[in-house]
Structure 1
Amino acid sequence: MTAGRDVHTLPKAHLHLHFTGSMRHGTLLELAARDRIALPDSLVEDWPPQLSAHDEKGWFRFQRLYDVARSVLRTEDDVRRLVREAAEDDVRDGGRWLEIQVDPSGYAARFGGISAFTDLVLDAVAEASRETGLGMAVVIAANRTRHPLDARTLARLAAQYAGRGVVGFGLSNDERRGRTEDFAGAFAIAERAGLLLTPHGGELLGPTSAATCLDALHADRLGHGIRASEDPALLERIATAGVALEVCPVSNVALGVYSDLTSVPLPVLVEAGVQVALGADDPLLFGSRLAGQYATMRAAHELDDATLAELARMSIRASRAPSDVVARTLADIDSWLAAPAPGADAGRMAP
């Protein structure tokens, strides 16, 4: 069997990447040292941290680490650096389009309010896109541990920026908290603005959570959604509706949703005809970036290059990238697959 083609050169879109979670580990350490911010050992010597989300205590620890990391962002230059480095990392991993997800309310106190921070992020995204050549857009996400009225405020903010760099509206944090149905009003605001609707669901709570996101929030894509694999009827519904799942294998295992990478049911989704976009979620906490998701799934499920190429095609088709970016990326994926695999020529040589 010949070696597979390099997944780093496979053109792809990245549709599930959280803002602070995209930070480079080295940048976290540097910014913390600059302002003498004490970091827990799990973000320094013991990085990446050992995590679990089996119960609220485990999720609280995960969220606490995320909040500590967010605290090192003190200046506008810090924000611009984070966005630029996230873009550089995606380009290095074969990224052609990135939709980065952010909850402006988590940064508003330090950066002049949610509108001012959104302006800063969008300007940083435009700048990073020009510098790296990566197509980029923003998904504004509400926090399900906060009041649904706060989500409506963020939905109105997202609607205000629709067509000006913001392409979607999401709902993140522990899906075991709050009632998904209570956020329907916020998603209705985003839906009227023509935004992509992409709430988290179907990971910690299973297939019922994913179905609720479809029914109550009219999800166009599902953040995670991986445990829809447990309900064949739901899988068929998702496949028929063309709802894409933003699957993040390494974070699924790190948080204890699955015991190991071979248990992540990616083949079940693909065989059911579900659109899948592999994502890195929070590389800062999970230690793996975009290309790593393709590499781990290739190894865990013995995926051939044709399957990897189709996963990449699904990622760009599920995005809100402009049509010219989609067409160019699809053509380049075909070229990647058409190129000889490493060792292919040697394997055909006569003895």
Structure 2
Amino acid sequence: MSPYHHENPPLPRTAARDVRLLPKAHLHLHFTGSMRPTTLLELADKHGVHLPEALSGGEPPKLRATDERGWFRFQRLYDIARSCLRTAEDIQRLVREAAQEDARDGSGWLEIQVDPTSYAPRLGGLVPTMEIILDAVDAASRETGVGMRVLVAANRVKHPLDARTLARLAVRYADRGVIGFGLSNDERRGFARDFDRAFAIARAGGLIAAPHGGELSGPGSVRDCLDDLHADRVGHGVRAAEDPRLLERLAERGVACEVCPASNVALGVYEKAEDVPLRTLFDAGVPVALGADDPLLFGSRLADQYALVRSVLGFSDAELAELARQSVRASQAPEDVRKEMLSGIDDWLAAE
């Protein structure tokens, strides 16, 4: 049965240890994409938004974004879902429920990614939007116990000047919970170097650089993230597996790839889960942080990624524990939170 049918789907139990009890950090989760399908239906009804069958039919939509038409369809569905977030209360609900889902999945730390320009027209502008989002993050973190921070992401298909505006906004809120700056949308459009000034602004303000790369485009996209944007982490990055020298570089520099297996398959980057080259990255010593990307559209959340990696890619529990450690080390969690989570990972692995 699809995860769309209930809020807390059973995971395959191919080993004694429950992956939901494994402490982990979640570093690749998009804002609107974190929404529960039932919440989308309720918000659409509340605001009078007509949802296409792909979003209202009770199953994850069939997606394949390896061509422009497929990516356009994916982006259109995402935009329709985003249009249902119209009030501060809607934002608060989305963030609270995202934290609740992560808490159920064993995440002790969540860095949620958002482009505030997408919500600003309905929320009174960029500054009020950031205030609403950060207040919601603070409240959700207190309620659920999941540490939460925000990564502000620019849109690759918009003008680089817009990205600079967002970078300045992100730096303005660095003391309120913004920890990084990203670059999302179709990496086949535009060049990473067009956004180098925005990332320089973010770095000067103390934020990490975490652009998307190496998903729909090949290893050259990852190299561009490193060379032009000085990436500390790379969103996805799986296509780096096609270039052994690039793998060595990522491993030597300790640049983590935020790998999202379910979305790689859903978007047609790989035909089936067995083809996702996580093992190649892992064995090369590249730090990996598993992420759910957009559960609303891909139908699976964080613990499901660990379950998939165990059952399909053959990772042992010791290797799952190491993936969890890598997610914690790649995060911006405070040192005391890191120590607690790393200790919990050891306890999970020691349990019979």
TM tier, smaller:
over 0.9
State the secondary structure of the residue aligned to 2:312: helix
TM-score, normalisation: structure 2: 0.95
How much has 1:37 moved relative to structure 2? 1.3
1:41 equivalent in structure 2:
53
1:347 equivalent in structure 2:
none
Alignment of 1:45-124 (within 5 A): 45=57, 47-124=59-136
1:349 equivalent in structure 2:
none
Equivalent of 1:212, from 224, 229, 240?
224
State the secondary structure of the residue aligned to 1:303: coil
1:229 equivalent in structure 2:
241
Give the Cα–Cα distance (whole angstroms) in 2 for the partners of residues 102 and 156 of structure 1: 15
How much has 1:46 moved relative to structure 2? 5.3
Give the Cα–Cα distance (whole angstroms) in 2 for the partners of residues 157 and 44 of structure 1: 35
How much has 1:163 moved relative to structure 2? 2.5
Moved more, 130-139 or 38-47: 38-47
Paired residues in the alignment total: 340
Q: Which has the greater radius of gyration?
A: 1
Equivalent of 1:187, from 189, 199, 222?
199
Matched, 1:267 2:279: yes
Give the Cα–Cα distance (whole angstroms) in 1 for the partners of residues 39 and 223 of structure 2: 38
Give the Cα–Cα distance (whole angstroms) in 1 for the partners of residues 47 and 167 of structure 2: 33
1:292 equivalent in structure 2:
304
Amino acid at match of 2:267: L
Equivalent of 1:240, from 247, 252, 255?
252
Amino acid at match of 1:266: L
Give the Cα–Cα distance (whole angstroms) in 2 for the partners of residues 46 and 326 of structure 1: 37
How much has 1:111 moved relative to structure 2? 0.5
Amino acid at match of 1:28: L
TM-score, normalisation: structure 1: 0.96
2:340 equivalent in structure 1:
328
The answer as to whether partners of 1:4 and 1:304 remain within 8 angstroms in 2 is: no
1:344 equivalent in structure 2:
none
Give the Cα–Cα distance (whole angstroms) in 1 for the partners of residues 82 and 24 of structure 2: 27
**Deviations 1:57-108, CA, capped at 9 Å, x for gaps:** 1000000000000011121111000000000000000000000000000111
Matched, 1:132 2:151: no
Equivalent of 1:172, from 184, 188, 203?
184
Amino acid at match of 2:66: H
**Deviations 1:181-215, CA, capped at 9 Å, x for gaps:** 10000000001011010000011111000000100
Gaps of 5+ in 1: 341-351
The answer as to whether partners of 2:86 and 2:119 remain within 8 angstroms in 1 is: no
1:257 equivalent in structure 2:
269
Amino acid at match of 1:305: D
2:28 equivalent in structure 1:
16
Matched, 1:319 2:339: no
Runs (4+) off by over 4 Å: none
Give the Cα–Cα distance (whole angstroms) in 1 for the partners of residues 88 and 173 of structure 2: 20
Gaps of 5+ in 2: 1-13
Cα RMSD for the two superposed structures:
1.0
